[in-house]
Amino acid sequence: MNEITFRLASGGDDLLGLVVLYDAAARWMQANGIDQWQPGGKDEEHFRLRVKEGEVWFAEAGGRTVGAFELWWRDEPAWGPQPPEAGYVHRLMVDRDRAPAGTGRAMLAHAERRIAGAGRAWSRLDCLSANPRLRTYYEAAGYTVVGEQPFKEGTDGSTYAVTLLEKRLPAR
C-alpha cells in the first residue's frame, strides 16, 4: 500500500486541482445515488478563499493526488458562534480511481492531529441529513451526532438539513 502524505494547498494549479477533484467526487456521488454535491458546485474562487481563511490539504500517495479536505477554525453557518475549542472538517474528497483503501480515514486522522495540535479538543463536521451513508461513515470513525441544523440556505436559495457530528480528541 502506498504511504499517504499531506501537503498544504496554495494558489495556482492547486486551485484547479481542487475543482477537478471536487467535480469528480460530485459525479461519483451522483452515479451512486448520493445527493450531496453537484459538479460545478465549487470553483477556484471558493478554494482560493478557503486557502486564505483556513487550511486546505492534499493527500498524496505514489506521487499522485488522491484526496483533499478543508480545515476551518470556525463554522458559524452550521454551528453558530462557538468558543475556539474545535476545528471543522469540510469537503473530504477522495479520488476513487487513485486513492488507496483508507484514504478518507487517513485524511480525517490528519485533520484531527492538526486540530489537537492547535490545542482544540473537538473535531467537528456536518453532512446532509439526507445522506445516511456518509453519516454512518463518520460515526464509524468515532464521530457522534450532536444535532441537526434544519434550515440551512443553499446558494440557489434552497433549504436543506445538515447533521452535526463531533469527536472528542485526545489532549496533546
pLDDT tens digits in sequence order for the chain, 172 residues long: 579 999 999 888 999 999 999 999 999 989 988 878 899 999 999 999 999 988 999 999 999 999 999 999 999 989 999 999 999 999 999 999 899 999 999 999 999 999 999 999 999 999 988 888 889 999 999 999 999 987 656 566 667 789 999 999 998 6
Count other Cβ atoms within 10 Å, centred on residue 133: 12
Q: What DSSP string runs through 94-112?
A: E-TTTPPTTHHHHHHHHHH
Q: Are residues 56 and 70 in contact, defined by beta-carbon separation less than 8 angstroms?
A: yes
Dist CA 95 CA 113 (whole Å)? 22
Q: In what helix (H) or strand (E) does residue 17 lie, and over which residues does it extend?
A: helix 13-31
Predicted local confidence at residue 129, as pLDDT: 87
Predicted local confidence at residue 54, as pLDDT: 84
Predicted local confidence at residue 154, as pLDDT: 55
Dist CA 154 CA 150 (whole Å)? 12
Percentage helix, strand, coil for the chain under 3-state DSSP, each rounded to 5: 35, 35, 35
3-class DSSP state for residue 136? Answer: helix
Predicted local confidence at residue 133, as pLDDT: 87
What does the block give as the cell for 5?
A: 502524505
Predicted local confidence at residue 159, as pLDDT: 75
Predicted local confidence at residue 153, as pLDDT: 61
The residue whose grid cell reads 446532509 is 128
Q: Are residues 69 and 57 in contact, defined by beta-carbon separation less than 8 angstroms?
A: yes
